[in-house]
Amino acid sequence: MSRVTALIDGNNFYASCEQSLDASLIGRPLVVLSNNDGCIVARSSEARALGISMGTPYFKVRHKLDRLGVVVRSSNYALYGDMSQRLMSLLEAHCEELEIYSIDEAFAYVNGPSDDNLKPWARQLRAQVHRNLGLPIAIGLGASKGQAKLANHLAKAIPAHAGVFNLLTASDPDTWLESVAIENVWGIGRKLAHWCRLRGVTNARQLRDMPRSQLHARCGVVGIRLQRELQGHACLPLALAPTSKQETCVSRSFSRPIANPEELRQAIATYVVRASEKLRRQQQRAGTLTVFTRTSPFAPAFYSQAATIQLDLPSNDTAILLAAALPLVERIYRPHCRLNKAGVLMQNLQSADHLQQHLLVAVHADEQHRRDRLMNTIDRLNHRYGSGTVGWAVCGMQPGWSMRRHQLSRAATTRLNDVPLVLA
DNA sequence: TCTGGGGTCCTAGGACCC
DNA sequence: TCTGGGGTCCTAGGACCC
């Protein structure tokens, strides 16, 4: 038996989710925008063929998209999250061990005899995902996560591979590695790609074979690990049990600059409410809370400020976290600055069931239980009747700075009113 | 006018201790 | 005049990922 690592991911995931919901979009150029309708974060293959690149600010290409007849959608994370869950449960049923790596990607171990060709297994899985969910996926196979990533890239980049590629059984793997540009190697970002190119390292094969000491001097152990992975030594094991988060952040850009300290208070309060909900869902409490705001980094005279408070006792109680956060707002607000983003950061997280050995905890145990039950009730009401059913006055009603999402698709899989009607 | 959001890991350097 | 060495902890910043 040999153990092969697979990387399975959705092609153009957000765009494909929109298409699976609305069949009239299939075959058409389509882009999905980031929050606030800011940048292009996903493109259908037809949009890609038109030369529309990832990360482009929407306002710069809006007219071009109109002219080319490209369909535009605001991001609909309720839909993508729900499709992701369906995809992952299907994958779980077909893989021995699975690490859910992101909303649209999973690593898996696949066991088979050493001479086994895993292509039939991969083709069958790919077909079933398409049949059940309407989503196209790609499957890359290799000896390590790094190799599986490369194979996945080649599965998508070469049409003849039809979404499945196994680096371990490929006839001339070095040639395939040479066809992958250094920028497309997992773990090589903009800075490192530039550094590599200056040294004549322009593709995955050259990175794999470059002098180890040179890589170590620039990238430390991270670089060495990456190189070993490309050589086929698995250094990064699958994370099979999800680990608890070390920090949790809620932040947003505003649809227009914040005009006064009261608006900033409302925004911070809104994010604290969200972050507290997240903490409770993760069954964690925060020991440290940071609020921050900034102006646009693209405008002159950049301003950015943060303020932090250590809590007496770690908490996930919205009222306590609001009381801690709101006094910090005046420390970060600055008049005459066009503040366009703010957020809160919860840090020093600890498990909520962990009873802290602290005198005050014992003294206030009853009170704490009462508060926990209250928060639990609020969470259940909001879950059942829709987010915002029970709100907090400090967040403001109908704020003028909230997110722009002009081209939102329906929440067909998660909200009853939006379920598509099928006429018999 | 208009440029996303939420994470992780690693390293270097300072503070502090014995 | 001459001022050690090694360890730990914390933080800020850099780089990356999707």
Going by C-alpha positions, the residue among A19, A26, A33 that lies closest to residue A62 is A33
Q: Residue A190 pLDDT > 90, yes or no?
A: yes
Instruction: Calculate the angstrom distance between C1' of C17 and CA of A424.
Output: 45
Predicted pLDDT at A368: 84
Strands (E), A189-283: 248-253
pLDDT tens readout for residues A261-311: 999 999 999 999 999 999 999 999 999 999 999 999 998 888 999 999 999
Q: Find the nucleotide nearest A7 (Cα to C1′).
A: C18
Q: What percent of chain A has pLDDT above 70?
A: 93
Q: Residue A365 pLDDT > 90, yes or no?
A: no
Q: Final residue of a domain: which of A79, A109, A130? A: A79
Predicted pLDDT at A384: 87
Which residues, at least 6 apart from A407, have a Cβ–Cβ distance to it below 8 Å?
Answer: A33, A37, A72, A73, A74
Say how many domains are in chain A.
3
Q: What average pLDDT does the segment A168-194 reach? A: 96
Predicted pLDDT at A205: 98
Within A 245-264, residues with CB less than 7 Å from strand B: 245-253, 257
Kindly report the average pLDDT of chain A as a whole number.
Answer: 91
The protein residue nearest B11 (Cα–C1') is: A220
Residue A301 lies in a domain: yes
Do residues A391 and A356 share a domain? yes
The protein residue nearest B8 (Cα–C1') is: A246
Chain C nucleotides with an atom closer than 7 Å to a protein C-beta: 14-18
Highest mean pLDDT among A169-178, A366-375, A378-387: A169-178
Residue A24 lies in a domain: yes
Provide the β-strand partners of residue A292: A306, A343
Residue A389 lies in a domain: yes
Strand C contact at CB of residue A406, distance < 7 A: no
Provide the β-strand partners of residue A6: A108, A141
Q: Residue A361 pLDDT > 60, yes or no?
A: no
Instruction: Calculate the angstrom distance between C1' of C15 and CA of A193.
Output: 12
Q: Find the nucleotide nearest A348 (Cα to C1′).
A: C10
| Count of residues in chain A | 424
CATH of the domain at A34: 3.40.1170.60
Strand B contact at CB of residue A236, distance < 7 A: no
Predicted pLDDT at A386: 82
Highest mean pLDDT among A66-80, A104-118, A381-395: A66-80
Strand C contact at CB of residue A190, distance < 7 A: yes
* Rounded Cα gap, residues A335 and A100, in angstroms: 44
Residue A187 lies in a domain: yes
Q: Residue A357 pLDDT > 60, yes or no?
A: no
Residue A370 lies in a domain: yes
Q: What percent of chain A has pLDDT above 90?
A: 79
* Rounded Cα gap, residues A247 and A295, in angstroms: 23
Instruction: Name the token pair of A82.
Output: 């729900």
Q: Residue A29 pLDDT > 60, yes or no?
A: yes
Q: Final residue of a domain: which of A56, A79, A102? A: A79
Do residues A301 and A349 share a domain? yes
Instruction: Calculate the angstrom distance between C1' of B10 and CA of A188.
Output: 15
> Residues A109, A3: contact at Cβ < 8 Å?
yes
pLDDT tens readout for residues A325-341: 999 999 999 999 999 99
Residue A253 lies in a domain: yes
Q: What average pLDDT does the segment A77-92 reach? A: 96
Strand B contact at CB of residue A302, distance < 7 A: no
pLDDT tens readout for residues A149-163: 999 999 999 999 999
Predicted pLDDT at A367: 86
Residue A149 lies in a domain: yes
Q: Return the minimum-mean-pLDDT range out of A137-141, A320-324, A338-342, A368-372.
A: A368-372
Domain with A33 in it:
13-79
Strand B contact at CB of residue A316, distance < 7 A: no
Do residues A140 and A52 share a domain? no
Chain B nucleotides with an atom closer than 7 Å to a protein C-beta: 1-12
